[in-house]
Amino acid sequence: MTAGHASPLHVSIIAIPDAVISTMSGLYDVLNAFRIMRGLDDAIPAEPPFTVEIVAADRAPVQLASGLPVQPQRSIAELPRSDIVIVPSVVFGAAGWTKGRYPELVAWLAEQHRQGALLCSACSGVFLLAETGLFDGAETTIHWEYQEAFHKVFPAVPLKPEQVLVVAGTREELVSSGASNTWHDLVLYLIARFVGPPTAQAVAKFFALQWHRDSLAPYMRFTARRDHGDAAIAESQDWIAGHYPAAAPVEEMMKRSGLGARTFKRRFAKALGMSPIAYVQRLRIEEAKKRLERTADSVEAIGWAVGYEDPSAFRRLFTRIAGIAPAKYRRKFQVPDYR
């Protein structure tokens, strides 16, 4: 941490047509809130520690992904240096992220890094940052739903989607936050790093921001690959999707595939990156998560329904895969009754 850094630091929040308004405005509002918070807590500095601007390739209004326009306060040509650059969440269609659409921005980002700036991404904003090549070989986090699409475009960037926040680089200057609202953790990290932990805590309390202290594993949804090109394994996937509670699912998949046991396991692991039993376990736990969220069935009944006769074994497996015990998962994700 470098709390007490000379201020104000200039923060650029990048506007591109793929950007999400909620993340952009949230980051902007929190980092600009020090004037309105002055006097509310003795941890709030007398002078704002950040100067925050919406920055784009030029001064023209940018129509964001939702269709709402935003007016940039500065173009990159008008801003030779910024201390912290943040790319907010982005969304795109089924065609995926297309590289090379923002060459001037990518070059500007690389130049800011060369001059010492932090490059930060909120969720999927790392797609734009990765075009600089600076994240190659540096651990990075992203929303797990974008993991496969990101890997196809940037295979040299190792992903840790279960992590809330990843700080990498020789100067700890490459900062990525994970899924959706982990922009809370990003903005609080920046405040703690450059102003101090007590200030970050005061801001968190004022805005009721969430610290995602645990892994994002409980939030992650298991989605199996279907593009591996192995017809026998694909047929096994089709069968197990409706029969995962079966008593001996791996043996039944092998029998139906017509392959020998060793061949089946080898091809399964090659196609899906995990063993057949691990795949079955992931399917079972995914269904258990859904039932914990949407039913009042007991943990024991849910374990039995997805294929586990031993409640203790089910609890242990659920905790290992989901990163949280079943009862705690239910409390965390079941819709509360506010009546």
Question: pLDDT tens digit string along 234-286?
Answer: 999 999 999 999 989 999 999 999 999 999 999 999 999 899 999 999 999 99
CATH topology for the 231-333 domain: Arc Repressor Mutant, subunit A (1.10.10)
Tell me the HSE value of 77 on the side-chain side, using a 13 A CA sphere: 5
User: What was the pLDDT predicted at 339?
Assistant: 67
Q: Which architecture characterizes domain 9-216 according to CATH?
A: 3-Layer(aba) Sandwich (3.40)
**Model's pTM, two decimal places?**
0.77
Of 210, 222, 193, which Cα lies nearest the Cα of 289? Answer: 222
**Taking a C-beta distance cutoff of 8 angstroms, is the pair 36, 19 a contact?**
no
The amino acid at residue 226 is: R
User: What was the pLDDT predicted at 218?
Assistant: 73
**Taking a C-beta distance cutoff of 8 angstroms, is the pair 225, 177 a contact?**
no
User: What was the pLDDT predicted at 6?
Assistant: 59
Q: Please state, as a whole number, how many other Cβ atoms lie within 10 Å of the Cβ of residue 134.
A: 19
Q: Percent of the chain beyond pLDDT 90?
A: 79
Helix and strand numbers, DSSP H then E, in the chain:
14, 9
Element (H, E) at 141: none
User: What was the pLDDT predicted at 45?
Assistant: 93
Structure tokens at 239: 């069968």
Structure tokens at 258: 């017509």
Report d(CA 65, CA 282) in Å as an integer.
33
User: What was the pLDDT predicted at 52?
Assistant: 97
**Taking a C-beta distance cutoff of 8 angstroms, is the pair 174, 167 a contact?**
yes
**7 burial type by CB count under 10 A (0-12 exposed, 13-18 middle, 19+ buried):** middle
The amino acid at residue 256 is: R
Sorted by where each begins, the domain ranges of the chain are: 9-216, 231-333
How many Å is the maximal CA-CA distance in the chain?
73
Integer-rounded Cα radius of gyration of the chain: 23
Low-confidence ranges of the chain (pLDDT < 70): 1-6, 338-339
**Taking a C-beta distance cutoff of 8 angstroms, is the pair 131, 121 a contact?**
no
| Angle 40-46-48 from CA coordinates, rounded to 5° | 100
User: What was the pLDDT predicted at 2?
Assistant: 54
User: What was the pLDDT predicted at 23?
Assistant: 94
**Taking a C-beta distance cutoff of 8 angstroms, is the pair 129, 110 a contact?**
no
Q: Is 229 left (phi over 0), alpha (psi -120 to 50) or beta?
A: left
Q: Please state, as a whole number, how many other Cβ atoms lie within 10 Å of the Cβ of residue 234.
A: 15
User: What was the pLDDT predicted at 164?
Assistant: 87
User: What was the pLDDT predicted at 3?
Assistant: 55
**SS3 track for 230-247:** CHHHHHHHHHHHCCCCCC
